[in-house]
Amino acid sequence: MQKLRIYYRKYSRVRNRTLGLTGGKDQIAIIRASGSISRARGPFSVSSSGIVSEKFIEKIRTVRDSERYKAVVIRIDSPGGDALASDLMWREIKLLAASKPVVASMSDVAASGGYYMAMAAGCIVAENLTLTGSIGVVTGKFSLGKLYEKIGFNKEIISRGKYAELAAADQRPFRPDEAEIFKKSAQNAYKQFRDKAAVSRSMTVDQMEEVAQGRVWTGKDAASRGLVDALGGISRAVAIAKQKANIPLDKQVTLVELSRPSPTLPELLSGIGSSIIGLDQTVKGILQDITPSVGVQARMEGIVFEQFEGSSSSNPIFSLIKDYLSSIRSD
């Protein structure tokens, strides 16, 4: 069997139009929102993990201010997360929906904060087996006193004010009055979520209460209860977006991905390596160590091949690295 080698430089220069992948003149923006919701990225999270409200809002505002896009499809795959972050994104999606058609397309999960985002769109499309709903809130704190005793850790808090250490005092459980404050806070957050959902779905508060209370529904069940508008995947969502933007269904459009990250070469190779049986795990460690902050560094080739001098030259990972670095030098 003859092997075909494709060099990275040639591959990277192939344009979508040469493969017939471009659509019509009208453009529809696709914004993907996957993972847990937070207001800021954690210190150990990678660039493509989770939904960070600040970054997501930037994309929403970019689309809102642009006249290029006739409609927007937001593809949601999230179990929820930070309540405030969800509310901030809900507001921005609501403002976007006031200027152009917005369709929320639910993937595997769009629950709690994920549904919070979706309900700001003009139309919600879910898969039959999507897990959605979960209109509710959860709050509390860890009580780590016994753990601290076991490991010999002592924590002392100096505070001023009766409730100053409400959440900081994790070495003890809530006092009854503190627990009551947390309970009221959770109730207020739940009512805000439920009431906004009721307005979004054209229901009374009592009607929404029947399907809320933290209940989780499949997409099919959610549709029968008025929580989503249609069943289908992202293709169905695009078709609805075209219809709402007054674009004929038989007319081609160009789908513009605004949120798909462009991984660095080491990230790509690390992902490929994890799926190849027998690949030395040290390769992944080296690739992570040499991941540059601004492009690929020339020292990459030396580091990799000095440490793997005895490795098989037929390994596709090494071949791809060599091709890539050779293309850089020849340019």
Whether the pLDDT of residue 119 is over 70: the answer is: yes
Confidence of residue 207 (pLDDT cuts 50, 70, 90): very high
Determine, yes or no, domain membership for 208: no
Residue 58 contacts residue 27 (beta carbons within 8 Å): no
Confidence of residue 40 (pLDDT cuts 50, 70, 90): confident
Instruction: Tell which of 241, 257, 273 closes a domain.
Output: 257
At 21, the amino acid letter reads: L
Question: Is residue 47 domain-shared with residue 70, that is, in the same domain?
Answer: yes
Question: Is residue 20 domain-shared with residue 70, that is, in the same domain?
Answer: yes
Q: What is the mean pLDDT of residues 91-116?
A: 96
Determine, yes or no, domain membership for 3: no
Report residue 255: phi and psi, to 5°.
-90, 120
Pick from 43, 65, 73: which is nearest to 238 by CA?
A: 73
Active site residue 48: no
Question: Is residue 69 domain-shared with residue 51, that is, in the same domain?
Answer: yes
Higher-pLDDT residue of 324 and 231 is: 231
Quote the number of domains for the chain: 3
Q: For 75-84, how does the pLDDT look when each residue is reduced to its tens digit (9 = 90+)?
A: 999 999 888 8
Residues with Cβ within 8 Å of residue 87, at least 6 apart in sequence: 116, 192
Per DSSP, 256 falls in state: E
Distance CA 233, CA 224 (A): 17
Question: Is residue 59 domain-shared with residue 122, that is, in the same domain?
Answer: yes
Distance CA 110, CA 134 (A): 9
Prediction pTM value: 0.70
Question: Is residue 12 domain-shared with residue 122, that is, in the same domain?
Answer: yes
Question: Is residue 63 domain-shared with residue 100, that is, in the same domain?
Answer: yes
**Burial of residue 130 (number of CB atoms within 10 Å: 0-12, 13-18, 19+):** buried
Question: Is residue 21 domain-shared with residue 113, that is, in the same domain?
Answer: yes
Whether the pLDDT of residue 331 is over 60: the answer is: no
Confidence of residue 169 (pLDDT cuts 50, 70, 90): confident
Distance CA 266, CA 47 (A): 13
Give the range of the structural domain holding residue 178, as residue numbers without chain letter. 137-200
Q: Go through 298-307 and write b for each residue having 16 or more CB atoms within 10 A of its CB, e for each that does not.
A: eebbeebeee
Determine, yes or no, domain membership for 289: yes
Q: What is the mean pLDDT of residues 112-121?
A: 95
Catalytic residue among 38, 78, 86, 112: 112
Whether the pLDDT of residue 179 is over 70: the answer is: yes
